Amino acid sequence: MKQEQTELEMYIEKLRSHKAKMTPQRIEILNIFLANKAEHFTAEDIINRLEDSKTGQATVYRTLELFCNVGILKKVNFTDDEFTHYDLMDLAQHFHHHLICNSCHKVVEINDDLLESVEAIVSRDYHFNVQNHELILRGICHACQEGQPDE
Amino acid sequence: MKQEQTELEMYIEKLRSHKAKMTPQRIEILNIFLANKAEHFTAEDIINRLEDSKTGQATVYRTLELFCNVGILKKVNFTDDEFTHYDLMDLAQHFHHHLICNSCHKVVEINDDLLESVEAIVSRDYHFNVQNHELILRGICHACQEGQPDE
DNA sequence: ATTACTGCAAACTATTTGCAGCCTC
DNA sequence: GAGGCTGCAAATAGTTTGCAGTAAT
């Protein structure tokens, strides 16, 4: 009587609830994101990591699109490059925020819910009912401030 | 002895300080943004508005890129569509935030500096020196809550 | 006069799509 | 067994680029 469920299974369940079929290609791509939660892959990144498999690039694009619709991934735009990046959604919590260093360009994720007070203000002053938020803070990270740009 | 300066002149000065030449095409594009401050045009929007002039589309793209480098425009990504949008930077103040309605898709700008406390927390807990920020809040606007989707 | 800017059209490139066959359910 | 999914290759479309002529300083 196991209550437990691997993370992979949780995401698969989410896919099933959207009537999506489970194929080896989809599992493979999902696993790449699960094994690299701090990364923000592009479609091309995924294609490169699948070099050994026979998965076609059209499938990668279609899968990423599917995962976004289902709520497994989220498109993020770090407007510095021209590519669409994908960020794994944590099924349990609010979308996280990003700190981007203008010096070493490292992207750090933070999960604190920093915006509760902001949402309260917007709700009060603009009568806007907030459902989700995206926050990007750009600046200089600790390492770069100390003159030790990330190796 | 006029101290005053039109907004257009202020932006032109900014261009001059970057050694950019002032051409009719650049003034024309700048004026479109100045006359529609609440809009977030795409390159194509601008090209359409220049239909009557002979300005080529390559010039539009090159001009938008220049304006971004100079700090007159800022690329914004409302990840719902595949286009790059450009937002006029207010030369005086911090970059503003966006409220996007998930129902009528209207984009509202707000200028309140809502993030001072957030920046303080990030600075303290992550030793991250914030230089700029981008915040997008998605939800339901007042009109849609009342069942009166935009006009 | 010098040098940057423009317009045209061709080139690029990330992403999408049509279709025949395959695989999951 | 049926319908969604895949792979291939061709198509699409937003953006970039080369170049010769033009215009701003």
CA-CA-CA-CA dihedral for A117, A120, A126, A127, to nearest 10 = 170
A1 pLDDT higher than 60: no
Predicted confidence (pLDDT) at residue B68 exceeds the cutoff of 90: yes
d(CA B133, CA A142): 17
Q: Do B76 and A75 touch (CB under 8 A)?
A: no
Give the SS3 label for residue A50: coil
Which of the four pLDDT bands, split at 50, 70 and 90, describes residue A45?
Answer: very high
Question: What are phi and psi for residue A88, nearest 5 degrees?
Answer: -65, 130
Residues of chain A positioned with their CB less than 8 A from the CB of B85: none
Instruction: Report CB contact under 8 Å: A128, B118.
Output: no
Confidence (pLDDT) at A94: 64
pLDDT in tens, A47-74: 999 977 889 999 999 999 999 999 999 9
pLDDT over threshold 90, residue B7: no
Name the residue type at position B33.
Answer: F
Task: Name residues whose C-beta falls within 8 Å of residue B17's C-beta, 6 or more positions apart in sequence.
Answer: none
d(CA A134, CA A97): 7
> Which of B119, B135, B140 to probe the A interface (max A CBs under 10 A)?
B135
Query: Cα dist. A121→A116, A127, B115 in Å?
Result: 9, 9, 11
Spatial distance from the CA of B80 to the C1' of D16 (Å): 24
Q: Which amino acid is at B146?
A: E
Please give the average per-residue pLDDT across B99-103, as a whole number.
88
Q: What is the pLDDT of residue B73?
A: 93
Q: Residue A79: which pLDDT band, with cuts at 50, 70 and 90?
A: low
Question: Tell me, what's the pLDDT at B4?
Answer: 63
Q: Residue B150's pLDDT is what?
A: 46
Judging contacts by C-beta atoms under 8 Å, the chain B residues touching residue A139 are 128-132
Tokens in use for B71? 């700090």
B126/A99 touch (CB, cutoff 8 Å), yes or no: yes
Mean pLDDT of chain B: 87
DSSP A132: E
B-chain CB neighbours of A108 within 8 Å are 126, 128
Please choose, from the candidates B133, B104, B78, the residue with its C-alpha nearest in 3D space to the C-alpha of residue A75.
Answer: B78
Q: How much is the average pLDDT of B93-118?
A: 83
Instruction: Flag if A112 and B121 touch (Cβ within 8 Å).
Output: yes
Cα–Cα distance, B7 to A117 (Å, whole number): 34
Give the model's confidence band at A149: pLDDT under 50 very low, under 70 low, under 90 confident, else very high. low
Classify residue A35 as exposed, middle or buried by CB count within 10 Å of its CB (0-12, 13-18, 19+): exposed
User: What's the mean pLDDT when you consider all of chain A?
Assistant: 87
Helix or strand run (H / E) with residue B110: strand B107-110
> Searching chain B, which residue's CA lies closest to the CA of residue A120?
B114
State yes or no: pLDDT of A102 exceeds 90.
Answer: no
A101 against B82, higher pLDDT: A101
How far apart are the C-alpha atoms of B73 and B66, rounded to whole Å? 9
DSSP H or E stretch at residue A139: strand A129-140
Q: What's the average model confidence in pLDDT over A74-85?
A: 81
Mean pLDDT across B96-107: 87
Residue B55: CB atoms within 10 Å: 20
DSSP A138: E
Q: List the nucleotides on chain C closer than 7 A to a protein CB.
A: 4-9, 14-18, 23-25
Q: Which residue has the higher pLDDT, B55 or B92?
A: B55
Given a contact cutoff of 8 angstroms between Cβ atoms, the answer to whether A55 and A28 are in contact is: yes
Tell me the pLDDT band of A117, cut-offs 50, 70 and 90. confident
Q: How far apart are CA B94 and CA A43, in angstroms?
A: 33
What pLDDT score was predicted for residue B21?
95
Task: Determine the residue of chain A that is closest to B144 in CA distance.
Answer: A128
| Nearest nt to the B16 alpha carbon by C1' | D25
Instruction: Read off the pLDDT of residues B108-148 as tens digits, 9 standing for 90 and up.
Output: 888 777 888 888 889 999 999 998 888 889 899 999 998 76
> Under an 8 A CB cutoff, do A138 and B121 touch?
no
For B24-42, what is the mean pLDDT? 94
Confidence of residue A150 (pLDDT cuts 50, 70, 90): very low
Residue nearest to nucleotide D8 (CA to C1'): A56
